[in-house]
Amino acid sequence: MNPNPQPAPSLEIQDWGLTRYVEAFERQKVLVDLRRRGSIADHLVFTQHQPVYTLGLRKGADRHLIWDAAACQAHGIEVVRSNRGGDITYHGPGQLVGYPIISLQARRDLHAYLRDLESVVIKTLKRFGLSSQRRSGKTGIWLGSRKICAIGVAVRSWVTYHGFALNVNTDMKHFSGIVPCGISDASVTSMADELAAPVDLHAVQATLAVEFKNVFPNT
């Protein structure tokens, strides 16, 4: 019996709308278990989260939370510990979060997966006239010293979860409550800030889906 059944290559795209981070995490875990068993094909989930600071597994991430509990509550921001990689980041409305639930059994290379995920975002931003790049030694996508997309992933039995968070029309003042991703020598930005106008979230989501299929053609 095949211990790692692989359904026929395909990709199901879901839009969960606005979600609480903890609820979306539980839904991710259900999909991961189903994908591990081969009961479903690969998935790409899109969502926007209600305001939340999430703390990753990097040591000392909690030291990068600037606002105290009262300040976070006053701004309506939850604080949640996560099992994703990376430091602390912010999620909120206007930010597109992508959660790929895909099997890496065929190649088992997490570093290559991260680079491919970065490529999806870089190619998407280029379609909107923004020239972005990786930054040596740091995960995520940058425009010079301004971070526009955070990436933090996890795998279970070579099935991925968590993913990327692209600032589109994000309320950037909420980043003032943290040292984003623990990086003190850089700033954060959004597509709206860079283009000096609100951006069509649906158009960005559709482009991300197309570029994801281009970069991951076997899903």
Q: Which residues are catalytic?
A: 181
DSSP for 79-126? EEE-SSSSSEEEE-TTEEEEEEE-B-TTT--HHHHHHHHHHHHHHHHH
Q: CA torsion sign, 27 to 17 to 20 to 104?
A: positive
Using alpha carbons, select from 182, 183, 200 the residue that is nearest to residue 191. Answer: 200
Q: Are strands 88-91 and 52-55 parallel, antiparallel or unpaired?
A: antiparallel
| Structure token pair of residue 96 | 């597109």
Using alpha carbons, select from 181, 193, 24, 199 the residue that is nearest to residue 124. Answer: 199
Name every residue whose Cβ is closer than 8 Å to that of residue 32 and which is 6 or more positions away in sequence. 101, 156, 159, 161
Q: What is the rounded distance in angstroms from the CA atom of residue 65 to the CA atom of residue 69?
A: 10
In the block, tokens 């649906």 appear at: 202
